Structure 1
Amino acid sequence: MYILLALIAACALGIALHFLLPSRELRGVVVTPGIATAVAAIVYTGMQWAGVGQDSFWLWLASIGGSLAVAAVVTLALSATRTHSDAEKKAALGI
């Protein structure tokens, strides 16, 4: 049941991260929170299988903090890719 707390926290902080990162008009509002939640689920489950207890600070730091870090990097990469692609298409069209 504690995994739900980690997932809810990752999703809520992912929503905040979406609004803090630049170029949010180039991506959907669900991208960053979705990535953060998925990564939090994978990390939390993996660490539980590895034997880390639910009361461990490292479990929570890795699942929530790590998911936000991964979500930020992926979101920035997606935004940069989209900006580059749009610039190429505009140049090809002569706009």
Structure 2
Amino acid sequence: MVGDLHASVQALKDRSPSGVLVGSGTLATELDRLELIDEYKFLMHPMIAGHGPTLYQRGLPRTRHLDLISVEPLSNGVVTMHFRRTA
């Protein structure tokens, strides 16, 4: 992407009706700050590391409220959770 992040990502979203997958906490933080994330899909692993990075290391300007779309337990103990931002 070149230039304005908001304009570039919005153009990408407009060209990708099935969505854009982001796996970077740093990029996700910036996209969330620009209110460009519509849905979240999280994987919850059955362990607590006790250390390491968080999803939003630099925080967000305000709390995000989410609506639960679906939850699916997988055979390996991982749980997938799908949320949509509350309007």
TM-score, normalised via structure 2 length: 0.24
Q: Which has the higher strand share?
A: 2
- Which structure has the higher relative contact order (CA within 8 Å, separation 6+)? 1
- Which structure: larger Rg? 1
